[in-house]
């Protein structure tokens, strides 16, 4: 049995790809600048790559599971064909939020369920792992799972509801900075690492 390995959990819409609301058209997938190069380098450094994405459109009937699965397959194919990236996991929350906007399940971010599920399935070291997302819900999910978290400011966060567990370990505006932040902390001696 292999030892647990660190992961980088990646939000899909607004972080990995440009946010096109309710999109299931593979032709409209656009990677954020620098994302593929950064993920390639992180994988080469030994990080498992796992997408974790809220998809309330499934519960709301905005698209079908078959349509979303086709988008997912196209995304994974492009990751591999364009950058040689193979994901260790792809976790989806298909549930709608409660009427007040809070999660009505254990997997919708800011709940940590998708990260915990992936960690168990793939033997991931959560304390050595990172989450990269464009909202404070991503940050909270990471911290509740025991990971560190980077807010990639692509204008996805609009409410800025601060609170316990919602302060990012780093705030950046480009994937190059994501890469530099994770590699710098990963290379630090264990005794000096700051775990959220």
182 found inside a domain: yes
The pTM assigned to this predicted structure is: 0.93
CATH number of residue 23's parent domain: 3.40.50.1000
100 found inside a domain: yes
Low-confidence ranges of the chain (pLDDT < 70): 1, 186-196
2 found inside a domain: no
What pLDDT is attached to residue 4? 93
134 found inside a domain: no
Query: Which one from 11, 134, 137, 169 is the annotated catalytic residue?
Result: 11
What pLDDT is attached to residue 187? 59
Q: Is 13 a catalytic residue?
A: yes
Range of the domain at 170: 7-126+139-156+163-192
Q: Which of 2, 89, 83 is nearest to 44 (CA)?
A: 83
d(CA 107, CA 116): 9
Query: Which one from 13, 134, 137, 138 is the annotated catalytic residue?
Result: 13
- State the residue for tokens 């899909």: 12
143 found inside a domain: yes
120 found inside a domain: yes
Q: Is 100 a catalytic residue?
A: no
What pLDDT is attached to residue 194? 39
What pLDDT is attached to residue 185? 84
50 found inside a domain: yes
Number of domains in the chain: 1
83 found inside a domain: yes
13 DSSP assignment: B
What pLDDT is attached to residue 170? 98
What pLDDT is attached to residue 195? 38
């Amino acid at each position: 049995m292999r030892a647990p390995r660190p992961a980088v959990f990646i939000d899909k819409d607004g972080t990995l790809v440009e946010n096109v609301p309710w999109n299931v058209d593979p032709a409209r997938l656009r990677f954020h600048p620098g994302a593929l190069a950064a993920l390639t380098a992180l994988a080469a450094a030994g990080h498992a790559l796992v997408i974790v994405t809220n998809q309330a459109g499934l519960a709301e009937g905005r698209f079908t599971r078959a349509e979303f699965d086709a988008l997912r397959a196209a995304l994974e194919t492009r990751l591999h064909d364009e950058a040689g990236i193979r994901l260790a996991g792809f976790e989806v929350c298909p549930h709608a939020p409660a009427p007040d906007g809070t999660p009505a399940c254990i997997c919708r971010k800011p709940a940590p369920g998708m990260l915990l599920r992936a960690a168990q399935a793939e033997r991931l070291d959560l304390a050595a792992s990172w989450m990269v997302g464009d909202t404070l819900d991503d940050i909270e999910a990471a911290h509740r799972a025991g990971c560190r978290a980077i807010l990639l400011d692509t204008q996805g966060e609009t409410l800025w509801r601060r609170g316990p567990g919602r302060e990012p370990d780093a705030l950046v505006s480009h994937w190059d900075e994501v890469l530099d932040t994770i590699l710098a902390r990963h290379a630090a001696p264990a005794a000096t690492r700051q775990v959220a």
